[in-house]
Amino acid sequence: MSIVPFERQTNGQRVVFGAGAARSRLGAEIERLGSKRVLVVAGPASRPLAEELTARLPVAGFVADVRMHVPIEAAGRARDQAVSAGADLLLSIGGGSTTGTAKAVALTSGLPILAVPTTYAGSEVTPVWGLTEAGRKTTGTDPLVLPRTVIYDPELTLGLPDELTVASGLNALAHCIDSQWAPRANPVDTALAHEGARALMTGLPLVHADGKDLAGRTQVLYGAYLAGLSFAGAGSGLHHKICHVLGGAYNLPHAQTHAVVLPHVLALKGTADALTELLALYDAIGAPRALRDLGMPESAVGEAARLVVEAAPIPLAAAEQLIHDAWSGRLPS
């Protein structure tokens, strides 16, 4: 590969990665950030875990109202809670929606975030925030929302249900693939994306076969970290633009939508070999295939294609074909 001139921003962040790290290192990492009053952000699914992990730590309160795409009202309430609790640190324990809630509070309060992810979404390594107001999602980039520290602990993902494991792992793989043609694509993020894709493609069949396979969980979480880094560095390409449109307009689940759309974008932009490899993985791990199974009505296909064309540089006929195939579950060949 010839190396073309490039620009790349390195984001300052401390990462602690390892099985058991959340239990053994969380206290020391909170201390390292100089925190005495921690506001814990954890949705219902991760609340018991969050209570266990923080039992002996200086907790000033819990934010339980975690919802996908972060409604602005919920962000405002969480921020008020941070102020009245006198919090000096936001500790997010959960998936991308939890990290997103902490980011929304950091955006207006300037409080630092320590993130402990429990899915493969990758939000914890990006300075990108998202908020929804009156049904419209706005996203932006601000270094204030980039977590100062991330603790990656594959043990926390052992209980992630198979359906979410597969979808979230493919969401991470989409970051690796889409970063190849993203606006800030560069050789460093391409290298991260290749290693991330290797780890994800090794680990996903293992964790689909046995969700308690710690070595497989470790591969997938490591892959998800690199995937998030490549996405943060290179930016988002055609795939993310399409998923953003679909998720926003039809309220589809984030990770599953990415999983369904990915082969169709790879068929348009990637090589035949890469597509063959991806389709073999989809077979092996029982990946979701159809937007209709996620709740998108057939009557929305035409409108969705028009919205995609407004957001992404592809011809209307190609967008219509892509959305219809993704809706019906007809895989590209």
Q: Which is nearer to ligand NAD, 275 or 304 (CB)?
A: 304
Q: Does 196 bind ligand NAD (CB under 6 A)?
A: no
Is residue 143 a contact partner of residue 102, using CB atoms and an 8 Å limit?
Answer: no
Q: Which of 178, 254, 307, 325 binds ligand NAD (CB under 6 A)?
A: 254
Q: Which of 19, 113, 128, 131 binds ligand NAD (CB under 6 A)?
A: 128
Q: In whole angstroms, how close is the CB of 94 to ligand NAD at the nearest point?
A: 5
Q: In whole angstroms, how close is the CB of 197 to ligand NAD at the nearest point?
A: 17
Q: Which of 126, 219, 230, 257 binds ligand NAD (CB under 6 A)?
A: 126
Q: Which is nearer to ligand NAD, 129 or 275 (CB)?
A: 129
| Torsion angles phi and psi, residue 155, rounded to 5 | -60, -30
Q: Does 255 bind ligand NAD (CB under 6 A)?
A: yes
Q: Which of 81, 118, 179, 230 binds ligand NAD (CB under 6 A)?
A: 118
Q: Which of 42, 45, 199, 301 binds ligand NAD (CB under 6 A)?
A: 45
**Nearest one of 177, 202, 211 to 192, comparing CA atoms:** 177
**Nearest one of 276, 161, 152 to 219, comparing CA atoms:** 152
Give the range of 81-89, 157-165, 211-219, 267-275 binding ligand NAD by CB under 6 A.
157-165
Q: In whole angstroms, how close is the CB of 84 to ligand NAD at the nearest point?
A: 25
Is residue 223 a contact partner of residue 200, using CB atoms and an 8 Å limit?
Answer: yes
Q: Alpha-carbon distance 289 to 262, whole Å?
A: 10
Which H helix or E strand runs over 236?
none
Is residue 129 a contact partner of residue 100, using CB atoms and an 8 Å limit?
Answer: yes
Number of helical H runs and strand E runs in the chain: 12, 8
Q: Which of 159, 187, 295, 297 binds ligand NAD (CB under 6 A)?
A: 159
Q: Which of 149, 168, 180, 218 binds ligand NAD (CB under 6 A)?
A: 168
Q: Does 21 bind ligand NAD (CB under 6 A)?
A: no
By CB atoms closer than 10 A (0-12, 13-18, 19+), residue 117 is buried
Q: Alpha-carbon distance 197 to 169, whole Å?
A: 10
Q: Does 179 bind ligand NAD (CB under 6 A)?
A: no
How many residues would you count in the chain? 333
Q: Does 240 bind ligand NAD (CB under 6 A)?
A: no
Q: Which is nearer to ligand NAD, 112 or 130 (CB)?
A: 130
Q: In whole angstroms, how close is the CB of 96 to ligand NAD at the nearest point?
A: 2
Q: How far is CA 159 from the centre of its chain?
A: 18
Q: Does 216 bind ligand NAD (CB under 6 A)?
A: no
Q: In whole angstroms, how close is the CB of 254 to ligand NAD at the nearest point?
A: 4
Q: Does 79 bind ligand NAD (CB under 6 A)?
A: no
Q: Does 147 bind ligand NAD (CB under 6 A)?
A: no
Is the dihedral angle over the CA atoms 163, 122, 234, 190 positive or is it negative?
A: negative
Q: Does 257 bind ligand NAD (CB under 6 A)?
A: no
In the three-class reduction of DSSP (H, G, I as helix; E, B as strand; rest coil), residue 164 is classed as helix
Q: In whole angstroms, how close is the CB of 236 to ligand NAD at the nearest point?
A: 9
Q: In whole angstroms, how close is the CB of 327 to ligand NAD at the nearest point?
A: 21
Q: How far is CA 203 from CA 169, 171, 181, in A?
A: 9, 14, 24
| Token pair for 144 | 């204030």
Strand partners, 90: 39, 113
Is residue 156 a contact partner of residue 223, using CB atoms and an 8 Å limit?
Answer: no
Give the range of 27-35, 38-46, 262-270, 283-291 binding ligand NAD by CB under 6 A.
38-46
